[in-house]
Amino acid sequence: MGPGAAVPTVARFGALRHPDYLRYFLVALVGMTAESVEHVVSYWMIYQLFHSPTLAGFAIVSHWVPYLMFSVYAGVLADRYDCRRLIQAGQALLALVSLGWAALFMTGTLHVWHACALLVLHGLAGVFIGPALQLIVHDIVGREHLQSAIRLNAISRYFCMVLGPAIGGGLMLLLGPSPTLLVNVVLYLPIIVFLFYLRYTGHLSDADGRRPAAGFSLGQTRQLLAELRGEPRIIMMIVLAGASSLFVGTAFQAQMPEFAHHHGSNEADVWYTVLFSANAVGAVVGALLLETFTALQGGARMAIVCAAVWGAVMAAFPVVHSYAAAVTLLALGGVFNIAFTSMAQALVQILAPSRLRGRVVGLFNTSMMGLRAGSGVTVGVLGALVGVEASLTISALGVVLVALGLLIVALRSPSVAPPPVVAPAERSSPS
C-alpha cells in the first residue's frame, strides 16, 4: 500500500457483520478471561508471599522480554505458516502455565525463580499468538472492517480484564488460589477446539498467494524499516507505542496491590478488585464510544494527542489521595489508552505491505509490548528507590514529552494529514 493510501473509517460494529468473526469473538472472550484470572491470582500471591516492589517489577520484565526478543520472528512465522496452529500452540502453553501456578501454590513450594520462569513462559505464548491472531482477524473481516475488529478485540480484552478480576477474586475467596487456577485451565479449551473448525488460515486474502521465506535475521530488521520509510505514519505509531510501553506499560497493574494498600486495602477485597479493574472499565467504555461515534475515529495526529492525554492522566493518578479520584483517573486512562492504541494498531496493520504484514505487525508488537519490559524498571525498580507513586508519575510524564515531540513532527509533515473517509466495500467470505 502506497504512502497516499487512505485508511477507511468503517461502519459501526462492522466486523460483527461477519459470522465467523462473531463466533471467534465469543470464544476468544473465554480465553482472554482465563489470562486475566491468572494474572489476578498470581500477582496477588506474589505480593502476599514476597511483599517486594522490586520483584513485582522484575516479574513485569521477565514477562515482557520475550516480546522484545521474539515478536518479529513470531511475525515471520505468521507470514509463513497456518496461523491457527500457532494460536493453538500458544493457548496450550498458557493452560500449562496456569497448571504450574496451581501446583506451586498448592504445594507451598513457590520461589522467586518459579514465578519468573512461569511469567516468561506466559510471555512466550503471547508472543507467538499475537501476530497470528491479528492476521487471522484481518483474513476474516478484510481491510474494510479491520479497524472495527481491532476495537472489538480491545473491548473483549478489556472486558475480560474486568471480568477476570471479578471471577478470580470471587473464586479465590470461595476456593483459594490453587483450585481457582485449576478451574482456569479449562477456560483455555474452547478457542483451541474452535480453531480446528475455523476455515481462515491468516493467508486466504493474500493477493498473490505467495508467502515469504521463514528465515529472518537481525540485519533484515533494518531492511524492513527502510521499506517503511515511505509511510511515516507507521514509523510514528511504532515510536508512540514504544514510548508508552517503555515508560508506563502495564507495570502499574503489577503494583496495584501497593496502590490499594495506599488507599487502605490490605486484602484481596472488593476495593482491590475495583481499583484493579477501573482501567479496563474505562477502556471498554472508550472502545464502545469509538465504535459507536465514527466522528471520534482518527489517524496519526489524533492517536498522538490521545497518548499525550493518557500520559497526563496516568501521571496524576498516583498523587491523588481520594479513592474515588483514583478510580476515576484509572478509568479515564483506560479511555485514552484504548483510543490511541487502537488507532495506532489499525494504521500499522492497514498500511503495511500485504507480503510483509506479519513482520510489520511483529515489529509493532516489539515496540508496543516488548518495551513494556522497560516499564518494570521505570515503575517497579525505580519505585523501590523513590516509591511507586513517584516513579509512575515521572514515567508517565516521559510519555507526554515524547507524544508532544511527535505531534510537532506530525503537524509539520503534510504526509501525516488525517486520511479521507473511504466508504467501506462489502467483502464476501470464502466458501
Domains of the chain and CATH, by start? 14-205+222-416 (1.20.1250.20)
Q: State residue 430's pLDDT score.
A: 39
pLDDT band at 295 (very low <50, low <70, confident <90, very high): low
Q: State residue 348's pLDDT score.
A: 87
Total-model pTM: 0.73
Question: The C-alpha cell of 236 is what?
Answer: 510514528
Given a contact cutoff of 8 angstroms between Cβ atoms, the answer to whether 266 and 366 are in contact is no
Question: The C-alpha cell of 233 is what?
Answer: 505514519
Q: State residue 425's pLDDT score.
A: 40
Q: Please give the residue that has the higher pLDDT: either 329 or 384.
A: 329
Distance spanning both ends of the chain, measured CA to CA = 27
Question: The C-alpha cell of 430 is what?
Answer: 470464502
Q: State residue 426's pLDDT score.
A: 39
| Pairwise CA distance, residues 34 & 181, whole Å | 9
| Pairwise CA distance, residues 309 & 304, whole Å | 9
| Pairwise CA distance, residues 394 & 53, whole Å | 17
- SS3 of residue 240 by DSSP: helix
Q: Residue 422: pLDDT above 50?
A: no
pLDDT tens digits for range 228-244: 777 888 889 999 999 99
Spacing of C-alpha 180 from chain mean position:
24
pLDDT tens digits for range 377-398: 776 667 667 777 778 888 889 9
| Pairwise CA distance, residues 60 & 42, whole Å | 12
Q: Once rounded to an integer, what is the mean pLDDT over residues 286-290?
A: 83
Spatial CA neighbour of 355 closest among 76, 7, 68, 83 = 76
Largest Cα separation within the chain, whole Å, is: 61
Average pLDDT of every residue of the chain: 79
Given a contact cutoff of 8 angstroms between Cβ atoms, the answer to whether 101 and 406 are in contact is no
Highest mean pLDDT pick, 128-132, 154-158, 368-372: 128-132
